Amino acid sequence: MRPVDRHETIDALRTALREARQAGQSVGVVPTMGYLHDGHLELVRRARAENDRVVVTIFVNPTQFGPNEDFSTYPRDMERDLALLDAAKVDAVFTPGVEAMYPQPLQTTISLKPLGDMLIGKVRPGHFSGVATVVAKLFNIVQPTRAYFGEKDFQQLTVIRRMVQDLNFPVEIVGVPTVREADGLAMSSRNVRLSPDDRRAARVLSAALAEGAAMIEAGEGDAARVVAQMTTTIAAEPGVALRSLDICDSRDLSVVERIDRPVVMLVTAEVGPVLLIDQREARPV
């Protein structure tokens, strides 16, 4: 089996992509923090189907973690990731160290206001500025035609779409539906840190989202009533501590009171040592 083409420096990656760029080939990028699961591989499959070249980036970005968050315990397994990407026929994997991405303290950062400060941004101050800034750097390094992100991180996807519009990045952002385990749990690299009991308890999040969607699709137009029912369902599971639950306009994430347009329900909860997020879109009848 051919070992996947791995690059640890910006220069090496740019050199590897030069020929493709000169030949006018399209380049799809899948930015990740590694510890890949089937959700990531679905992004890779989409990128593979829609581009001449596919680049996956693996970088656990320290600037998007708060001081008391899980940067040091974030799961990592580079050898396994590279084997999966080799099997997925990726053309190049970019695996920079912190030194390569941040050779000097940044004086330039990107923050979106209010989009980056609301919802998860309230629970994780500074998180979306870290994400937007590193994704902007990755776009400048890879110069992709298209970039692929999971809808599970719905606010992240919205932040990136808005950054690309505001700053005129010449890249098409492709959102890919959430991939779930058989019992409904959204796939996440963090799931590996759930104990068997946590893992069972976490199912309540996708169940509550399904319940909320069923209410909306049956004609419930009062967001507070949907939130109240979902909160009751989640509260009945003692292993889960709800941190936020919002029903938002799918386009700009403004919180809605009346459900009279397509909405997205966004949930954040602590399950054991892990902060899990999940989402589901719903349309009123």
CA angle 82, 83, 84 (to 5 degrees): 90
127 is catalytic: no
Residues in the chain: 285
Report the residue from 31, 96, 121, 175 that binds ligand PAF according to the rule CB under 6 A.
Answer: 31
Task: Specify the stretch interacting with ligand PAF by CB under 6 A; choose among 27-35, 115-123, 243-251, 276-284.
Answer: 27-35
156: annotated binding-site residue?
A: yes
**Site for ligand PAF contains 121 (CB under 6 A):** no
152: annotated binding-site residue?
A: yes
To the nearest 10°, the Cα dihedral for 160, 80, 59, 168? -30
Amino acid (one-letter) located at 34: G
Nearest C-alpha neighbor of 205 from the set 233, 180, 238: 233
Least gap, CB of 149 to ligand PAF (angstroms)? 6
Catalytic residue among 4, 7, 30, 40: 40
Least gap, CB of 190 to ligand PAF (angstroms)? 11
Instruction: Judge residue 203's burial from the number of C-beta atoms within 10 Å of its C-beta, 0-12 exposed, 13-18 middle, 19 or more buried.
Output: middle
Instruction: Judge residue 75's burial from the number of C-beta atoms within 10 Å of its C-beta, 0-12 exposed, 13-18 middle, 19 or more buried.
Output: middle
Least gap, CB of 40 to ligand PAF (angstroms)? 8
Task: Specify the stretch interacting with ligand PAF by CB under 6 A; choose among 25-33, 164-172, 174-182, 262-270.
Answer: 25-33
Report the residue from 41, 134, 173, 265 that binds ligand PAF according to the rule CB under 6 A.
Answer: 134
By annotation, the residues acting in catalysis are 40
Annotated binding site: 33-40, 64, 150-153, 156, 179, 187-190
Annotated binding site for beta-alanine: 64
